[in-house]
Amino acid sequence: MESLDMTTLGTLCAVVAFMYTYFKDRFDSGKALGQLEERVSRLEHRDKTIEQMSESLTNLRVHIAKIEQELSTVTEWIRSQKS
């Protein structure tokens, strides 16, 4: 009878230890996954910001090219007026 009780107690302890380890592992995995999702979110935000900056630079280059063209036209007009 005592050996049965010890066996049952040992089994119960093993099950509790397994459950503790399992849930602790799941909790740690959940935390790690949450941190990974946070990093991915930050990287996506940075990527979007860089993309927006790139578009702004492209638009700025287009505007500068237009200004240069207008300036060239004005310069040519001034030269033609002097002649």
Considering the entire predicted model, what is its pTM? 0.58
> Over the stretch 43-81, which tens digit does the pLDDT of each residue have?
999 999 999 999 999 999 999 999 999 999 999 999 999
> Over the stretch 23-32, which tens digit does the pLDDT of each residue have?
999 999 999 9
Structure tokens at 53: 């900056």
Q: Which string of DSSP letters, residue by residue, matches 71-82?
A: HHHHHHHHHHHH
What is the C-alpha to C-alpha distance for residues 39 and 13, in angstroms, rounded to an integer? 39
According to DSSP, residue 40 is labeled: H
Structure tokens at 17: 């230890």
CA distances from 7 to 14, 17, 20, 80 (A): 10, 15, 20, 108
